[in-house]
């Protein structure tokens, strides 16, 4: 008995060759892919193969070669492991291609006009060179801010109802409608808001607030969903602890549930804002575009970054290159805004999360 | 402060399922009453129905009569929120509010109910409650630190302090020590012995030594088969239950010859 235990616990005997033999050195994978690259490039490039295809073929050839090599020298399990590793890394690289190429393209084309004038001036009296997006930047901030102002209370109250109070059929119907709303095409939301405001102000109405209403149709369901998930994460034990102290339900929700969930709710708001800040179609039909600065969302057309980029690109004027440059810079700014919002969401969830020791 | 609880013909339901049937029992003031029995026999459900915490679950309801010093707790004009202010509860898992400091946790019952209190009075109440829960000496110099930084046993004593800060008449404890190590368990048992001077205490426990150590009265719950409602098989003085119980089932359970 004790002998068996001893054998089980002692490490397997290391007999130099027999274990080392079935194992490729660390640099083997790099070597295989390097050789594949040299081979493909050596044969392909003189024959006029595109660079993208060279990379693709290198990946495929290298993966196959590594698998065969590993299968011959190592065992089957290791070979499968290497194959799957290659496929996973390849899939990741493939997914990164559009992202990197998009960021590269927008940054390289947009960075040129990212100057003081772009932030300081509107397009009033600008023909050709110069001009900026001052009016569009503030338009976007104002309209998105109004959108959040409309959507967050509605969304939060809906989520509270669904998680804390709702039951039975009404809850199911609301959940279903929220799901349906999530799928509404953005242009439909824009047309809805336009039709709504046309009832009061007549056809052809263009108002910043109409754009905010259109965007909140898109933002509300997104926020309801995330807020619902966050509220569900609040442990039921905390609600019970509050009830057991004789705290009424509404006060439990306000004082216990919401503070516990505040980090997640903040993240939800920022991500929902990021979702709608780049919408173009609804703003096109509800807010329109203007060259002058209009910071009053209740009075006429306003400029917004996505619509600004759209018009600068489609109606650049003569000569076109300056307007097209401005369009790229507006696109760059929009991406930067969304990225900044994501960072803010991260920070919120880090700093407001309740400290759970232990 | 401590009050007596009389329960008669209590039936407790989850939807259509009857979880506990026909409980009639009187719980004496200024004493510890222990409830023992196998898992799923309805001890916790019974406990939660005393302070009307049972009904916060969807579909849960209660039939029968629960009265505290003659006042019917399930009467038509009784607000369950008021009942819970008079009958406090400590749960199995320590559940301090994670967003609050130690001080705020103890003051939670006052603050959350928006009761106005002078700062000095509140300070005194917090100190008194923490002393009552035997935690004051350990936390007095870090009252403003988050409660989640305490150990499990300290968190549970914090929950007890939070429960007694609202000055209830009765304290219900649902396996308060089952998630704790023996030292913390001992601390909480000592605490119960001290607290029974002021409160009526009802404790659910799986630990029979604990029931024997801390309680004056013991009730044994059992269910005849899975799917059947749990019943109160025997209710007697703890001494009698553990030495010479009236019922065969009680003796089998206590001596480990169960099932």
Q: Report d(CA A198, CA A273) in Å as an integer.
A: 26
Interface of B with A in 197-256 (CB under 8 A): none
Domain membership flag for residue A7:
no
- Is the predicted pLDDT of residue A316 greater than 70, yes or no? yes
Tell me whether B51 touches chain A (CB under 8 Å).
yes
Tell me whether B170 touches chain A (CB under 8 Å).
no
* CA-based nearest residue to A231, from A211, A257, A254, A250: A257
Q: Which of B73, B99, B105 to mutate to test the interface with A (most CBs of A within 10 A)?
A: B99
Inspect the interface and report whether the beta carbons of B113 and A245 lie closer than 8 Å.
yes
Q: How far apart are the first and last CA of chain A?
A: 42
Domain assignment of residue A189, given as a range: 120-356
pLDDT interval class at A358 (50, 70, 90): very low
Model confidence pLDDT, tens digit, residues A134-176: 999 999 999 999 999 999 999 999 999 999 998 889 999 999 9
Q: Report d(CA A288, CA A291) in Å as an integer.
A: 11
Instruction: Please check whether residues A264 and A232 belong to one and the same domain.
Output: yes
Q: Report d(CA B75, CA B57) in Å as an integer.
A: 19
Interface of B with A in 56-115 (CB under 8 A): 56, 58, 81-86, 88-89, 91, 93, 95-99, 108-109, 111-114
Model confidence pLDDT, tens digit, residues B53-112: 988 888 888 999 899 888 889 888 888 888 998 899 999 889 999 888 999 999 998 888
Instruction: Please check whether residues A124 and A98 belong to one and the same domain.
Output: no
Tokens 């194992």 locate to A23
Tell me whether B183 touches chain A (CB under 8 Å).
no
- Is the predicted pLDDT of residue A299 greater than 80, yes or no? yes
Predicted confidence at residue A182, as pLDDT, reads 92
- The tokens describing B103, both together, are 């001080």
Predicted confidence at residue A19, as pLDDT, reads 47
- Is the predicted pLDDT of residue A344 greater than 70, yes or no? yes
Contact predicate B27/A217, CB 8 Å: no
Instruction: Please check whether residues A172 and A108 belong to one and the same domain.
Output: no
Task: Please name the residues in contact with A94: beta carbons below 8 A apart, sequence gap of 6 or more.
Answer: none
Instruction: Please check whether residues A164 and A200 belong to one and the same domain.
Output: yes
Query: What number is the average pLDDT over the span B116-136?
Result: 89
Query: What number is the average pLDDT over the span A270-275?
Result: 90
pLDDT interval class at A97 (50, 70, 90): very high
Tell me whether B29 touches chain A (CB under 8 Å).
no
Query: What number is the average pLDDT over the span A324-329?
Result: 92
Instruction: Please check whether residues A105 and A125 belong to one and the same domain.
Output: no
Instruction: Please check whether residues A93 and A214 belong to one and the same domain.
Output: no
Percent of chain A whose predicted confidence (pLDDT) is above 70: 93
Instruction: Please check whether residues A219 and A308 belong to one and the same domain.
Output: yes
Q: Which of B94, B98, B150 to mutate to test the interface with A (most CBs of A within 10 A)?
A: B98
Instruction: Please check whether residues A264 and A323 belong to one and the same domain.
Output: yes
Instruction: Please check whether residues A83 and A102 belong to one and the same domain.
Output: yes
Q: How far is CA A305 from CA A48, A140, A278, in A?
A: 42, 6, 8
Predicted confidence at residue A52, as pLDDT, reads 85
Query: Contacts of residue A242 in chain B, CB cutoff 8 Å?
Result: 97, 108, 112
Instruction: Please check whether residues A31 and A126 belong to one and the same domain.
Output: no
Q: How far apart are the first and last CA of chain B?
A: 41
Predicted confidence at residue A357, as pLDDT, reads 42
Inspect the interface and report whether the beta carbons of B84 and A238 lie closer than 8 Å.
no
> What does pLDDT average to over chain A?
88
Domain membership flag for residue A137:
yes
Structural domain ending residue among the three candidates A85, A112, A139: A112
Domain membership flag for residue A4:
no
Instruction: Label the pairing between strands B170-174 and B200-204.
Output: parallel
CA distance B84 to chain A (A): 5
Model confidence pLDDT, tens digit, residues A98-137: 999 999 999 999 998 888 888 888 888 888 788 889 999 9
Task: Please name the residues in contact with B8: beta carbons below 8 A apart, sequence gap of 6 or more.
Answer: B24, B64, B65
- Is the predicted pLDDT of residue A180 greater than 70, yes or no? yes
Q: What is the DSSP string of B13-59?
A: EETTEEEEEEEEEEE-TTSEEEEE--TTSSHHHHHHHHTT-GGGSTT
Query: Contacts of residue B107 in chain A, CB cutoff 8 Å?
Result: none
- Is the predicted pLDDT of residue A1 greater than 50, yes or no? no
Inspect the interface and report whether the beta carbons of A167 and B159 lie closer than 8 Å.
no
pLDDT interval class at A13 (50, 70, 90): low
Domain membership flag for residue A9:
no
């Amino acid at each position: 008995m004790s002998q068996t235990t001893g054998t089980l616990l002692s490490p397997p005997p290391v007999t130099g060759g027999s274990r080392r033999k079935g194992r490729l050195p660390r640099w083997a994978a790099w070597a295989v892919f390097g050789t594949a690259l040299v081979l493909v490039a050596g044969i392909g490039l003189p024959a006029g193969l595109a660079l993208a295809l060279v990379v693709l073929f290198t990946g495929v050839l290298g993966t196959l070669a590594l698998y065969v090599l590993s299968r011959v020298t190592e065992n089957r399990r290791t070979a499968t492991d290497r194959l799957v590793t290659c496929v996973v890394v390849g899939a990741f690289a493939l997914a990164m291609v559009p992202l990197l190429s998009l960021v590269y393209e927008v940054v390289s084309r947009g960075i040129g006009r990212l100057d003081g004038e772009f932030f300081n001036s509107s397009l009033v009296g600008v023909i050709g060179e110069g001009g900026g997006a001052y009016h569009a930047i503030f338009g976007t901030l104002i309209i998105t801010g109004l959108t959040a102002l409309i959507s967050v209370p509605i969304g939060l109250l809906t989520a509270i109802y669904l998680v804390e109070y709702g039951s039975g059929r009404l809850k199911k119907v609301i959940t279903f409608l929220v799901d349906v709303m999530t799928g509404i095409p953005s242009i439909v939301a824009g047309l809805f808001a336009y039709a709504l405001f046309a009832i009061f102000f007549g056809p052809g109405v263009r108002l910043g607030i109409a754009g905010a209403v259109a965007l909140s149709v898109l933002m509300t369901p997104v926020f309801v969903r995330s807020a619902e998930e966050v509220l569900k994460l609040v442990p039921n034990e905390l609600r019970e602890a509050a009830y057991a102290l004789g705290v009424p339900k509404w006060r439990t929700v306000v004082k216990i549930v919401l503070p516990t969930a505040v980090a997640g709710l903040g993240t939800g708001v920022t991500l929902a804002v990021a979702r709608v800040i780049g919408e173009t179609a609804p703003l096109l039909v509800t807010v329109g575009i203007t060259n002058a600065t209009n910071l009053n969302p209740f009075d006429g057309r306003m400029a917004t970054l996505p619509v600004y980029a759209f018009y600068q690109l489609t109606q650049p004027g003569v000569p076109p290159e300056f307007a097209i440059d401005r369009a790229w810079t507006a696109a760059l700014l929009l991406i930067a805004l969304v990225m900044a919002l994501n960072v803010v969401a991260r920070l919120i969830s880090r700093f407001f999360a309740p400290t759970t020791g232990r | 402060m401590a009050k007596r609880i009389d329960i008669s013909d209590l039936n407790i339901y989850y939807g259509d399922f009857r979880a506990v049937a026909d409980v009639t029992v009187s719980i004496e003031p200024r004493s510890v009453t222990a409830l023992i029995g196998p898992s799923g026999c309805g001890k916790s459900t019974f406990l939660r129905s005393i302070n009307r915490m049972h009904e916060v679950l969807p579909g849960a309801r209660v039939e029968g009569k629960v009265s505290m010093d003659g006042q019917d707790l399930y009467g038509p004009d009784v607000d369950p929120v008021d009942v819970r202010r008079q009958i406090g509860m400590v749960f199995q898992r320590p559940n301090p509010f994670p967003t609050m400091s130690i001080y705020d946790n103890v003051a939670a019952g006052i603050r959350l109910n928006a009761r106005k209190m002078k700062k000095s009075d509140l300070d005194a109440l917090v100190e008194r409650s923490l002393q009552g829960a035997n935690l004051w000496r350990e936390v007095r110099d870090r009252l403003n630190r988050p409660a989640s930084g305490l150990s499990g046993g300290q968190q549970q004593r914090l929950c007890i302090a939070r429960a007694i800060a609202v000055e209830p008449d009765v304290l219900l404890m649902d396996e308060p020590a089952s998630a704790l190590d023996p030292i913390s368990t001992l601390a909480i048992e000592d605490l119960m012995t001290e607290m029974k001077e002021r409160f009526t205490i009802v404790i659910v426990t799986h630990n029979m030594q604990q029931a024997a150590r801390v309680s004056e009265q013991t009730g044994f719950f059992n269910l005849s088969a899975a799917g059947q409602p749990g019943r109160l098989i025997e209710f007697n003085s703890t001494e009698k239950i553990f030495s010479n119980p009236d019922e065969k089932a009680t003796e089998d359970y206590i001596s480990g010859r169960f099932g």
